[in-house]
Amino acid sequence: MRIATGIFNILYNKMYPVKKGVLDKVPLDMISDDVVWKDPALINAYLTECYAETYVFTNVSTG
């Protein structure tokens, strides 16, 4: 049984070889820190988002 499984694995790997680098992909929905801090436009966008999420722009005074 083990010999048959071994032969099957060898034949399968010959027919369908593993492509190298298939999993070495850069995600398209995320930007790394290095890229953000090297691009002035991305730095500005990040800081704008940070300021937009603060409570500075809301009215916290009680009427």
Task: Please say if the pLDDT value at position 3 is more than 80.
Answer: yes
Q: What pLDDT, on the 0 to 100 scale, is given for residue 57?
A: 58
Please report the pLDDT score of residue 59 as a whole number: 61
Q: Name the least confident of 8-12, 15-19, 34-38.
A: 15-19
Q: What is the pLDDT of residues 22-63, one digit of tens each?
A: 788 888 889 889 999 999 999 999 999 988 888 765 666 655
Q: What is the pLDDT of residue 40?
A: 95
Sign of CA pseudo-dihedral 39, 44, 49, 51: positive
